Structure 1
């Protein structure tokens, strides 16, 4: 014998019912002995509650809802049954039943009251209607079905709304009834009866409970709960898109999952099945061939440590604390005794070993009552000041990792807290039972979805990670970066287990968001047609509100306003990667503050491309220092644009023409004066100085310019180029003098001791900078270890491709570390 149960979503529409009938026909044809339990049609129970509430309030609109209710069932009969006689019989029976409901509602309307007893009777019409109609459809389909009102076999007390089952009597009734009725019984879920035939209901998940009671009473071989999802999933699929089906789990694991919010199984359902050791299968009505989840007593110590991640969406945390609690026996008993007396259910309990405080989580609606109950119980101690007033924290959620095998594997809690910490999620309270069946963490409600995804990734997708990028600046560098991500994403997924999703984009006019990932094939069109105008504060706010795990902000601009938001972004536990040098070359105290915030929040503040574009300059310097080497001197040609310009000064073209070419190729900043003035190089040597631990500010860098007087003060970029053209002879003279001496011009930055300088130099063949070509940079490190022959880093130091590649590499590094 098997007991099958189909929920409201499975019987929501006639076409879905037809699909169920096909499933049951296969069971019957295969010779399986089964009985089947049905919930009310999807949404009907809510409708019955609403019409009763309106009637009790004296609102005659309840009649419109009743008419819709009656019409829905008559329409279902019309669509499902093709046999005229059967259709007429079923329709007539439904009209008689619904006439009783109509009169009942009218009575509620007259007395302006819907008692719990009356409500149970009202709600029974949902299951009674659906099960009867489906039983008739099964008859028409050739399955010898018979309608069974569960009130005849499931007996309870008179706790209306959540009746307590008399198991012994119910099991006896079930056995007796089924022994006399060999046909396929189509049973109403959720409803039962008390002494005198009064209708009762079994509470939340009542139809599942009905199926479990039937199985226990019949000593069934299995229970199948058919729903709209493919079994029990590792997490809520509405919040964790990568959740997947758990093939097998134990009763204990299923109980924990159901307690912590998993909607597929309800705790009472499991008890009769557990007592009789009847396996429970969770299957999908819409994918009947999928195996789903098996819940049984089978345990596999070699299996996954964590089976699932679940949460309770909204709780309040109450904390009782004070010196008068230390070493005093009976404190916990008084606290929880007072809560029990007040009828308050406790979700979670945690106590520190110091015994100074006990915290417990309750439903938010019960928080005030809990506070009053406990403070009344400790009124004497509170008056004496040895126990504090109960502290209540709201807008919290409980997230739990669940699995019987956690006890066998060390480091589970460490992985949990590391995943939360790396995503800036603070644990308000922690609870873990000695059985290690679950570890529960109380967090801010706004962080719940982020926590679920971070934990799911840590425990189920440890070989797969999703990075969420918010990119500002989609010009040469930003556009190239997006192309590189699009091209490389498949490789990263397959070889590195990493997926990069661009979820936010902004240029100087528009901004665009998509939490599921912006299509990198059509991002230009999507951004162009975005309705939201650029507002950096709004962009940062949206990034914070999306609260996605492994979030990285990428600034591809040279904009000081954007850099001013770094502090806020890092403080929201979002990593930053940027070629923008403004923040790292601003005041030293602000630079240090940004690094400190990143360290405090456990996120990354990366700016490798600030110096040398895609070259590993800063990382090399950090490696030298971290490994114990001492930096004695740094020299560098740190401007790819100036390197390109000086390497192309061969006397055949005017200086201005070469600068224009460098600008067009994207080697220079949008305003070439930033490069030619040496200020950009000064920023870079300043950044390198700070990375060595020297607290320099911009004014501490000695800068010797080479531009003619008035060039920097030009009113516009074009005016600046006009001056360069007018001073062609001056620049030609610089080149001719160097050529005469057998040398070449280079803008060289130097850091020695605590002194930094930048200036144009003529270098000969014995200098390492002499051989530079194209837009190459060269950085030379003189250290204790590299004293005879310095360590040299050389390569292209400008250009969209190499800079974007540097940013991309940094994004991957951040993802690897997070």
Structure 2
């Protein structure tokens, strides 16, 4: 004998009911089937609404009643299209009784709990009638049994208490004599000894099925719903969530209590006591394995079993020095809540006894606050207690698993993961059984919190990194191409899932919370919304995604000013834009401090040397206790390109133009040739070395003429280069005469920093520096004579993009 229960979604349409019938028919070939059914999806709420409107004398209840009638007749017509006259007449008769009941409520303007139970019972009575008649018409050996004849209760209407012994006798006696292969039972409904209709409260149909399974000592109870079992997290919020194959009763109860809607914990108590396994199955996908719940189920290899949450929570805190060492405060608090019929969801109390925090449903705030303040009015008046403190718009997120009690550090891993993603924890609770660790967080952070914990505990250490890229010109485009090329490698080798969520240029911005396809991002951006710095930031914050990274691939001061806002939201910043780190020292220090305070990485390796690990090498030297004595460097790929290609047979103007066209200079080459760009780079290295310097402290020995420096526009600058060609030729001739090379060199010591054009002799490490390469020589306490050298390509879109990419990967691996 098998006991099956089908919920409201499973019987919510003719198509779904046909699925139910197929399942029942297949199982009935080898088993006697007892099928408990809920009301058609949404009907119970509609019935309650009609009663409330009728009580108020509002005739609009008739419109809802008409909709209820229409739904059931439509189901009947689709399930039994012919020969349904007698069935339709019987259905009409049932609906007449419903209409008559509502008419009575309307006339006397009263809806007592007793009448409400009778009203709500129509949902299951109607659905079970239609399903049983459909089975019979299709020549299946089926019958309908009114559960009200089997389950007896007291008259605590709305949530009646079942008389277990009498109900068990009725159930066993009936099914001992029943010979039908299939018996349909309406769930949720029962009857008192006085013959009045009663209902079993929330989860009533599950309770009906559990009572029947327990009375008959069934081998298992199958609960069919619209999901393939209990999931590791809510699949509507966590796309990576997956069904749990096996779970024990206690874990199932914890997950169900904390928001998993598949089961209502009190309703399965009858089978739990007898250790009858429960199987959660999907009516829409019956081939899926589902979840098997038993007393000894075990999730091998998993530190946790699932994550769940309860939304719309309020936290009430009773605190004051008058509580310390005084017995009875907790008793009075919970007595008052019980009198007000307020359910307490979570409790936490510090060992100082100075405060007690409780979490309740947000709808109960006013009642709870008033009751508690009244109960402790004397202590509040005497200043021994503060009026109860109320915090709204909260949620509870819970990590559940029997295995957790055997593992150290689970709480640390949970809270560390939440903290790294800027999810503030308002309160925590953990029972001595260690099966549940609960945290109260802001409601707005629920999705982010669930995904963060699911990634940490259920995705094999795979990490999702969400990118917001500002600036998709030459370098930005190369970065996206590199991400596209390496996605598979990153997933397989580094367990990183890089998703581009937002892209922006100076005109348009485009977002996709599910990830922008790196193949088609240009089309999306072209059709995107008008760009704004504030709008881009607002969307990144609003999406509130875990492991978010803002990537600045611009040279804009306005974009650099946004960094602090991103860091305050624990959004990491990766930048090739040098402006922020070379601006006022106070701004640089502020960004570094925000990075530490808000646990948001701030990486800018590409500020110096494009993709070369110059800043990383410097930081490693400092972190390991080495001391920088001096730095000598060629840090401008554009200037190195220019002077490597400039000869007495070329024009300086033409070489600069070539460098700009090949992407080695900024769009405005004056930034490179003036030495300001190199000065910014050595300033950044100075600051990373621990020196407190500003840009004005860098001595800039410019090789340009006064006319070059005074040019107002780029075109004007190029004109002056032609006019002053002889000046540049003289620089070249001076170096050539000494068999030396022109290099633009940055120098840093403990006391000063400078940049300028130098003549480099043969044999010097800078002499043979080719193309757009950069070189940095670190003289330190550990490398006093032979410097530590970093050398390689220091300009170009590809290498700059690769440097940004490397910083992103560093964050992902953090």
Specify if TM > 0.5.
Answer: yes
**Corresponding position of 1:96:** 93
Q: Deviations over 1:281-318 (max 9, x none)?
A: 00111211111101110144865221010011111111
Give SS of 1:584's match.
Answer: helix
Question: Cα distance, 1:119 vs. partner?
Answer: 2.2
Cα separation, 2, equivalents of 1:711 and 1:159: 93
* Bigger mean CA deviation after superposition, 114-123 or 461-470: 114-123
More displaced 10-residue stretch of structure 1: 408-417 or 148-157: 148-157
Structure 1: tracts of 5 or more residues without a match: none
CA distance in 1, matches of 2:674, 2:167: 91
Which residue of the partner structure matches residue 7 of structure 1? 7
**Partners of 2:246 and 2:299 within 8 A in 1:** no
Report the equivalent of 1:236: 234
Q: CA deviation at 1:670?
A: 1.6
Which residue number in structure 2 is paired with residue 68 of structure 1? 67
Q: Which of residues 361, 367, 370 is equivalent to 2:368?
A: 370
Q: 1:109 aligns with which of 97, 106, 113?
A: 106
Distance 1:712 1:109 in 2: 90
Q: Which whole-Å CA distance do the structure 1 matches of 2:246 and 2:569 have between them? A: 38
Equivalent of 1:436 in 409, 434, 437: 434
1:6-155 paired onto structure 2 within 5 Å = 6-29=6-29, 31-84=30-83, 87-155=84-152
Q: Distance in 2 between matches of 1:481 and 1:195?
A: 75
SS for the counterpart of 1:98 is helix
Shift of 1:45: 1.9
Give secondary structure in 1 for the equivalent of 2:708.
coil
Mean Cα deviation higher: 117-126 or 458-467: 117-126
The yes-or-no answer on 1:343 pairing with 2:352 is: no
Aligned to 1:70, the other structure's residue is in SS state helix
Larger displacement relative to structure 2 (357-366 or 469-478) = 357-366
Aligned partner of 2:201 among 200, 203, 207: 203
1:626 and 2:610 matched = no
Contact 2:663–2:796 (8 Å) recurs in 1 = yes
CA distance in 2, matches of 1:211, 1:713: 88
- SS of residue paired to 1:770: coil
Secondary structure at 1:810 match in 2: helix
Shift of residue 95, structure 1, vs aligned partner: 0.6
Deviates more, 1:545-554 or 1:387-396: 387-396
Q: Which moved more, 1:176-185 or 1:232-241?
A: 176-185
| 1:428-472 deviations in Å (ceiling 9; x for gaps) | 111110110101111111111111110111111142111111111
When normalised by structure 1's length, the TM-score is 0.97
* 3-state DSSP of counterpart to 1:489: helix
Question: Whole-Å Cα distance in 2 between the matches of residues 595 and 67 of structure 1?
Answer: 66
Q: Is the 8 A contact 2:645 2:655 kept in 1?
A: yes
| TM superposition shift of 1:344 | 1.5
Q: 794-803 or 357-366: which moved more? A: 357-366
C-alpha distance in 1, partners of 2:326/2:78? Answer: 69
Show the counterpart of 1:804.
Answer: 801
Q: Which moved more, 1:616-625 or 1:167-176?
A: 167-176
Structure 1 match to 2:712: 715
Q: Tell me, in whole angstroms, the C-alpha distance in 2 between the residues paired with 1:49 and 1:521.
A: 52
1:219 correspondence with 2:217: yes
Please state how far the C-alpha of 1:140 moved relative to its aligned partner: 2.9
Contact 2:248 2:298 in 1 (8 A): no
Cα distance in 2, alignment partners of residues 172 and 651 from structure 1: 110
| TM-fit CA distance, 1:366 | 1.7
> Please, which moves more after superposition, 10-19 or 620-629?
10-19
Structure 1 residues 227-626: aligned runs within 5 Å: 227-300=225-298, 303-530=301-528, 532-626=529-623
1:174 to 166, 171, 176: 171
- The 8 Å contact of residues 3 and 37 in structure 1, kept in 2 or not, is answered as yes
CA contact (8 A) 2:249 2:272 kept: yes
> Using a 3 Å threshold, how does the CA distance of structure 1 residues 511 and 140 change in structure 2: closer, same or farther?
same
Alpha-carbon separation, structure 2, partners of 1:112 and 1:747:
92
Mean Cα deviation higher: 364-373 or 690-699: 364-373
User: Is the partner of 1:235 in helix, strand or coil?
Assistant: coil
Preserved contact between residue 28 and residue 143 of structure 1 (Cα < 8 Å): no
Tell me the distance in 2 between the aligned counterparts of 1:712 and 1:283: 77
| 1:705 corresponding residue in structure 2 | 702
CA drift at 1:175: 1.2
| Distance (whole Å) between structure 2 residues aligned to residue 646 and residue 88 of structure 1 | 97
Alpha-carbon deviation of 1:215?
Answer: 0.6
SS of residue paired to 2:194: helix
Deviation sequence 1:497-528 (CA, Å, 0-9, x none): 11011111111111111111011111101110
Superposed displacement of residue 83, structure 1: 5.0
The 1-side partners of 2:218 and 2:759 are apart by 93
Q: Describe the superposition over 1:107-157 as per-residue Cα deviations: whole angstroms up to 9, x where unpaired.
A: 222233333322222222211111111112222333211112221112222
- Give, in whole Å, the separation in 2 of the partners of 1:339 and 1:59: 34
Give the conservation status (yes or no) of the 8 Å contact 1:83–1:140: no
Task: Show CA shifts across 1:581-607 (max 9, x none).
Answer: 111111111111111111011110110
Q: What is the alpha-carbon distance in structure 2 between the residues aligned to residue 619 and residue 57 of structure 1?
A: 73
Cα distance in structure 2, aligned partners of 1:546 and 1:162: 41
Q: Is the 8 A contact 2:24 2:33 kept in 1?
A: no
Report the CA distance shift for 1:2/1:658 in structure 2 as closer, same or farther (over 3 A): same
Q: Which stretch shows the higher mean deviation, 50-59 or 553-562?
A: 50-59
Consecutive unaligned residues in structure 2, runs of 5 or more: none
Helix, strand or coil: the match of 2:481?
A: helix
- SS of 1:361 mapped into structure 2: strand
Instruction: Find the partner of 2:743 among 733, 743, 746.
Output: 746
The answer (yes or no) to whether the contact 1:345–1:362 under 8 Å persists in 2 is: yes
Instruction: Give the TM-score normalised by structure 2.
Output: 0.98
Instruction: Check whether the contact 1:636–1:780 (CA below 8 A) recurs between aligned residues.
Output: yes
Please name the residue that 2:682 is paired with: 685
Q: Note the 1:632-711 alignment, pairs <5 A.
A: 632-711=629-708
Q: Which residue of 2 aligns with 1:163?
A: 160
> What is the alpha-carbon root mean square deviation over aligned residues?
1.4
